[in-house]
Each structure stands twice: as structure tokens, then as C-alpha cells.
Amino acid sequence: MQNRPYPYCEATAIKDLKEMLAVKARTHKKETAFLYPLESGELRKTYRDLQADVNALGTWMYHHKIRGKHVALVGENSYEWLVAFLASVNGGNVAVAIDRNLPEEEIVQLAKKADVDVAFVSAAAKKCGRRVARKSYVLDRFDEFLREGRQCLKRGEEEFLRYEIKGDDTAAILFTSGTSGFSKGVELTNDNLAFEITRTSMLFDPQGGVLAVLPFHHAFGLVVGILMVINYGQPVYINKSLRRLREDMERFRPRTMFMVPAFVESFHRQIWAEISKKKMTHPIRGLMKSTDLILKSGVDVRKFAYGAIQKVFGGNLSYIICGGAPLDPMYVREFRSWGIEILNGYGATECSPCTAVNRAQYHRDGTVGVPVPGIEVKITEEGEVAFRGGLVMKGYYKDEEATKEVLIDGWYHTGDLGMIDGDGFITLTGRKKNLIILSNGENVSPEELEMNLTRDSAVKEALVYEEDGRIVAEVYPDEKRKGDAAYFEKLRNRVNKDRPPYKRIAQITLADHEFVKNTSMKILRHKNVPAAGKKTRAADEEKTETAAR
């Protein structure tokens, strides 16, 4: 298999989202843009339909004096949500994407922080709509809005169509995931979005269709998972609910999916659980070694050998673009053995969001890939990864102090520690803020230890932190191993083996429930670590149990 540098993909260069839609409506007018499941069947929209709907809704917005406003979008993934986003941006409004699954008070606070004037909400979020903005519209009335907008266009109301987008104007406010504190509103300009879409498209060509499962309020799910795919003129099937994911994969048979590591890890567990249930673990492990060797000789038998595994994803999946959190290279290797290439990437909402990704034919396990073309990357004296270029945000909305902390001389300082090899591949080693600094001066990255722990099938989630000068780990175990203190003591010894003393875990704590996470499935350290020590400690339980005997 080829694994060396090759030319960039031929991607359409755009100056803004309005131009992108116009080009696709002209070059791919009858081709499918979106497929969306409905109770009555399936909604299908061509690229010409998409532009027409955006223009109709944008005209409706102008007719109702929604111009130069901050427009909140609160709802689950839907075609209507996307059209509302595009209509807002393409008319000079600022789209403010807010996670529907947040507590109502937090939704209201974020809307207030972003100075929201108008809101589009789904039926599920209707209750909080009036608190989010003075004017609130339910997306259930979407067809009504489009009909009125088309009538306005027939009457010659073409201000929305004639509006010229200014590159340095703010297009959207997207909130950070807030894993270490309160979410901040990231201002992305029209230039930021156009740069990101154009340049990221040069690294990967998602031919064959994409199944969209990541939330649209998240930069990765929206900009890379949707807008970049539109720029390629490929079809997108919108997953309405994760409960329908398996059904949607079988129906749409995607070639590409964008995922966060939690999804990859979940699928991996399910697949091996099924293999174990059939008592096929050792035969499959042996088969994987054989097919890996055959692949190295240039013969690919994976589609034939692992048809049952590939059927889980619809039978046509070739690529998973993964980002949003660290991913153990073990998953990359095992999915590759099954015929599915995981292209691990890296980014931040502040960078629109993708800054680097492994390429289909040029990848390096354990890294987050090569930088997006046209940007600069450096490692600071403190070992922090920093980026500069057209994808870096304007700043945090109305938060000059926070902006100055991360934007220094045009460089966005990520807070991640890492290194760059001679070929430009970036390897991350941990978070600067999470770094454990021991009293002896040694630095320990908790992410490394967490990754080691979660490789064990009995560990669903792990969190490593410092307590009283020692490194401790809190583990949420698999159902079969709950309360099995002896097992986790043995695991601790295995993880510590061959490690220098300062990198050893002193104690494992068993959690009785999952850790608090955000919608990107990242563990919120600031909400979990302070609670450490309240749960039963595995080692102490074992000692008590032994004494009782």
C-alpha cells in the first residue's frame, strides 16, 4: 500500500459560503445534497434545492427585519437547522450555534453572552426559545417560512440575493467545549470558514457519500463534516438520532464518516464483544495477523475476510475521519486490519476547527497528521503547539482578556503539548493545563496513562490526576468487572510495569457511574476531578475484604 506524500486533492476554492452554494447549484444542480429520514419516508434535496431553500429563507428573514442580527440556532441535527445557518451567514447575520442538550439555564446564559436577537429552535427546544431571544421561531414552521420567502422573491424582494459578504465580518459564534471551565464564544469570520473549507478539502476527498452523526453546533461536525462535503458536491445523509445509527448506516452505506474517539471506541467494544460471544477471539486475532502480512505484499483480502465486521457500518465504509480528543493508535491499527482507515486529525474551534489530519495515502500512526496547507505551525519553548494562518479565529466574543491569553502575535496557542517530526507530522503528548507536576520536578501527562488503562476491555473510562503528591486513577469499569478490586489492582501493576517510579499509578479508584462529559464526549475534568476520593478505592476494598477472610 502507498504511504508517502502525494499531490493535494483538487478542491474548489471559495471566497464565502454564498459562492459555494452558487457553484454547487450550477455544477451539481440535480445531484443529491442531503438525505434526511422522516416519519413519512425520506426527504431528498438536490444542490439546486439547497440553494433555493437558503435563498427563500434568507429573503423571509430580510422581509421580517432579521438583518445584521445575532441569530441563535438551538436544535437537533436537521436539514432545517443547516438551511437556517446558511441563510443567516449568507445574509450578513451572525449565526450563534448552541447545544440543545445543555440545561436550559446554560442555553439562556450562552445566548445572553452572545447578544442573541433572534432564535430558530426545534420543537424539542421550543420551551426555552422565548427565553433565548425576544423573537423566537420554531423550525417546525420551516415550510411556511420558505413559501412566504418564495412569494417575496416573486414580488422582486432581492436584497438578500444581492447582499455582498464581507470577508472579515463575523459569520458565526461557536462555543468551545469547555472541558476545563466555562464555554467561550469563538468568532469565526467568513474568511475563516472559506479558508478552512478550501484548504481542508485539499487533504481529503470524501467521494461516495457521508453519514453525518456529529452535532451541527460543534465546529468539527458542521464545518468539516458538512460544509467541506458540500464543497465537494457529495451527498450527506443526516442521522437524526444515535438510536437510529445502525439503521442509517445499513440504509445509506456511507463511504466516509466523521467521528469523535468515543464513537470509535464504542464500535470497537461492540465488535469484540460479538466476536467473544461467538468464541472467535483467538481465530480472529490470528486472521488479522495473516491478512496484515498479505496486505504488506500488495494483496488486499480484507473486504472478503471481514465482511461481517464491515456490515456493521453498512458494508461500504472506507474512511473514518476522527478528531475532537486523543485516540489510541491501537484503534487505528485494528480498524485498518478490518479494511477501514481511521484518519486521525486535530483542531480547535478557535481554528475553524481543523489544523491537521492524516491523509488517505499518507499517514503515520500515533500522530494527528500533517498541517492544513497554507498555515504555519510551531512548538514553543514550553513545548506547546501553536498555529498561525487564515483559519485562526477573530477572537472570543467580548472577551478581550481571554483572547489575549491565546492569541499572541497572530499565533493561536492551543494549550496542547506536542512535537513535529521531519516530515511535518504532529504528535500530541498531552494538555498543558492537565500536566501533573510532581514535587520532585518530574512532569507526567495524564492522557498517556489514561490511554494505557482504557486499552483494557474492563475499563470503559479513566481519569488520572494528582492527589496528595501521588498519581491516582479513577476508573469506570465494564459491567462485568464492577466491584472486582483484585482485577484492577492487577491492571495497575501491568500498567506500571517497566515505567519509571514517578510515572506509576499509586492507586485505582472505582467509579460507580460514567464521568460527566460534554456533547463531544470529552470528559470534563473540572467537573470530575474535584469529586475524586468520594468513591470506593479498589485497593482499600481489597485489603478490607482480605482482612475479613
Q: Considering only CA atoms, which of 366, 354, 349 is closest in space to residue 451? A: 366
Q: What is the mean pLDDT of residues 275-289?
A: 96
Is the separation of the CB atoms in 332 and 264 below 8 Å? no
> Has residue 543 got a pLDDT over 90?
no
Which CATH number does the domain housing residue 102 bear?
3.40.50.980
Cα separations in angstroms, 174 against 48, 96, 274: 27, 6, 39
Predicted pLDDT of residue 1: 59
| Count of the separate structural domains present in the chain | 2
Question: 443 lies in which domain range?
Answer: 436-548
pLDDT band, very low/low/confident/very high, at 546 (cuts 50, 70, 90): very low
Amino acid identity for residue 91 in this structure: G
Q: Return the percentage of the chain with pLDDT > 70, whole number.
A: 95
pLDDT beyond 60 at 481:
yes
Angle subtended by helix axes 485-496 and 446-454, to nearest 10: 130
pLDDT, greater one: 358 or 527: 358
In-domain check, residue 347: no
Query: Does residue 549 have a pLDDT over 70?
Result: no
Task: Tell me the average pLDDT across 179-208.
Answer: 91
For 122-129, what is the mean pLDDT? 92
Whether the per-residue pLDDT at 532 is higher than 70: the answer is: no
Of 13-27, 102-116, 174-188, the one with minimum mean pLDDT is 174-188
In a domain, 511, yes or no: yes
Strand 319-322 relative to strand 256-259: parallel, antiparallel, unpaired?
parallel
d(CA 128, CA 122): 10
Q: What is the pLDDT of residue 449?
A: 93
Sign of CA dihedral 317, 321, 327, 328: positive
Domain's final residue, options 178, 198, 218: 198
Q: Is 395 a domain residue?
A: no
244-252: long-range contacts, CB 8 A cutoff, minimum separation 24 = 244/37, 245/213, 246/312, 248/37, 248/211, 249/211, 249/312, 249/313, 249/314, 249/317, 250/311, 250/314, 251/314, 252/35, 252/209, 252/211, 252/314
Q: Is pLDDT at 123 greater than 50 in this prediction?
A: yes
Average the pLDDT over 204-216 and give the result.
93
Residue 531 lies in a domain: yes
Q: Are 257 and 213 in contact (CB under 8 A)?
A: yes
Does position 377 have pLDDT exceeding 80, yes or no? Answer: yes
* Residue-by-residue DSSP string for 56-111: HHHHHHHHTT--S-EEEEESSS-HHHHHHHHHHHHTT-EEEEE-TTS-HHHHHHHH
Q: Mean pLDDT over residues 357-384, rounded?
A: 97
Least confident of 180-189, 197-206, 261-270, 299-308: 180-189
Closest CA to 358 of 379, 327, 398: 327
The pLDDT of residue 541 is above 70: no
Interacting residues of 499 by C-beta distance below 8 A, sequence separation 6+: none
pLDDT band at 384 (very low <50, low <70, confident <90, very high): very high
Among residues 169, 198, 227, the one where a domain terminates is: 198
Q: What is the CATH number of the domain that holds 517?
A: 3.30.300.30
Query: Residue 35: inside a domain, yes or no?
Result: yes
In order, the DSSP letters of 175-238 are E---TTSS--EEEEEHHHHHHHHHHHHTT---TT-EEE-S-TTSHIIIIIIIIHHHHTT--EEE
How much is the average pLDDT of 408-433?
Answer: 95
pLDDT band at 536, cuts 50/70/90?
very low
Which of the four pLDDT bands, split at 50, 70 and 90, describes residue 179? low
- Which amino acid would we find at residue 439? S
pLDDT at residue 544, rounded to an integer? 32
Last residue of a domain, one of 136, 163, 198: 198
Does residue 374 lie in a domain region? Answer: no
The rounded mean pLDDT for the chain is 92
Residue 149, by phi and psi: left (phi above 0), alpha (psi -120 to 50) or beta? alpha
Whether 534 maps to a domain, the answer reads yes
Cβ neighbors of 97 (< 8 A, separation 6 or more) are: 72, 73, 85, 172, 173, 174, 175, 216, 217, 222
Per-residue pLDDT, 535: 40
For residue 269, how many C-alpha atoms fall within 13 Å in the half-sphere facing its CB?
16
Burial code of 449-481, b = ≥16 C-beta within 10 A, e = fewer? bbbbbbebebbbbbbbbbeeeebbbbbbbbeeb
Among 26-30, 80-84, 126-130, 348-352, the minimum mean pLDDT is found in 126-130
35 bridge partner residues: 44, 237
Tell me what the mean pLDDT of segment 200-213 comes to.
94
Specify whether the CB–CB gap between 377 and 386 falls below 8 A.
yes
Q: What is the reported pLDDT for 540? A: 39
pLDDT tens-digit map of 20-74: 999 999 999 999 999 988 877 889 999 999 999 999 999 999 999 999 999 999 9
pLDDT at residue 374 tops 60? yes
pLDDT at 181: 57
- How much is the average pLDDT of 466-481? 91
Tens digit of each residue's pLDDT (9 = 90 or more) over 229-247: 999 999 999 998 888 999 9
Which residue stretches of 211-306 are H helix?
219, 228-231, 245-252, 261-277, 281-296, 302-305
Is residue 397 situated within a structural domain? no
